[in-house]
Amino acid sequence: MKDTIYKYAIYTVLTCTVSFSAFLISSDNFSPFTTQATVHKNVANIAPQVSGVITHVNVQNGQNVKAGDVLFSIDKHSYTLAVHQAEAELHQALEANLAKWQELQSAEQVLSQRDVEWHNTNNKLVRYQKLLNKGLITQQDFDDAHASANVAKSAIAVAHADILRIKAELFGNATAEPQTNKTGTVENNTIKHRVKSAAIAVAESKLASAKLDLARTDVIAQTAGTVSNLQLQTGSYISAGAISLFLVDEATSWLSADFNEKGIVHLQTGNPVWISFDAFPGQVFAGTIINQDRAIFDASNPTNQLSTVVNDSRWIREQQKIRTRIHVDGANTALIAGSRASVMVENGQSSVMDSIGYSWIKLVSLFRYIY
């Protein structure tokens, strides 16, 4: 009797072993299976945009933070001084610009005066011409009047040149062009509020940059998440761009699974899958295929240059893997990014294959109790 029981037990084990072996060998053609599946979550790399000594660390590893929370702060003294210096330079540029405007007004007044003088000397020259024609004055008197008119006209040209020089300094790289009247003078002083000299623009830009750097001394979370890999210590120096911690978005997660290429027919969007996580032995979760990565890195041609040919003596080469993204229904929030899993794709057309597939993934989940 015992021999019969042992015989049937051995036959049963052998039958199950052979059945599962045959199923696994052919599963890629019917229900693709893989043990190469990993949980992924959106992870934000947090690094400061300025350098300095850390003065405050406001979070702890594993802490949940909201968008807008201050994660840590960098010493502000040097950046505050930079703001004060930029403000002083802007004030200096504004003062210099105001002085230049006053110089322009003075030059325009001189031009107006020279214009009056030229009109007077020109009128005098016309009168002297009439008197010379009547013989009432000498030729010398007329020549003196003519010379005075030429000098007055030259003085106008000099005043114009002086105005053009000042305008070039004011408006040469200005953000707006001033409007002038027929005499070439600026129409009104309200242009001061519309025209910005290059020196002022540079000073304002420097001030804005200094204020931005000062604001960046407080490193702020741009998204909600859980603090991970925190390695900060008050008093330590940190450089701009140095990753200091990570923010893990617990609200979004997916499973990345690598299947053999020959199962691609079953790896279509919307196909259901069964999932066994190493973290939860004995449990099988349901999921759905979201999409596939449509390109694989070519190690033999990484930069699209000349291909490197690798000779292989094996007559059957290893299959290519297809990276597939899977949504897990009711994913346990305890799962961390990097958790491992096994995945079986449902056949959907054969209840026998689906029964065997589910039995296998269930058996895999049970194995996790001991391994």
SS3 state at 272: strand
Could you give all domains of the chain from N- to C-terminal order, each with its CATH number?
25-41+251-309+319-367 (2.40.30.170), 48-74+217-242 (2.40.50.100), 79-212 (1.10.287.470)
pLDDT of 1 over the 70 cut: no
Query: Given the structure tokens 């033999």, which residue do they identify?
Result: 300
Average pLDDT of the segment spanning 313-341? 84
pLDDT band, residue 19 (cuts 50/70/90): low
Sheet order of strands, 237-238 included:
218-220, 70-74, 52-57, 237-238
Residues 285, 275 contacting (CB under 8 angstroms): yes
d(CA 144, CA 193): 47
d(CA 203, CA 14): 84
* Strand 245-260 to 225-228 pairing: antiparallel
Per-residue pLDDT of 159-188, as tens digits, reads: 888 888 878 777 764 444 445 554 444 444
Q: Which of these, 367, 277, 352, lies nearest to 26 by C-alpha position?
A: 352
d(CA 167, CA 97): 11
d(CA 106, CA 104): 5
Q: What is the share, in percent, of the chain residues with pLDDT greater than 70?
A: 84
* pTM metric for this prediction: 0.67
pLDDT band, residue 299 (cuts 50/70/90): low
pLDDT given for residue 199 in this prediction: 80
Alpha helix segments (H runs only) across 254-300:
none
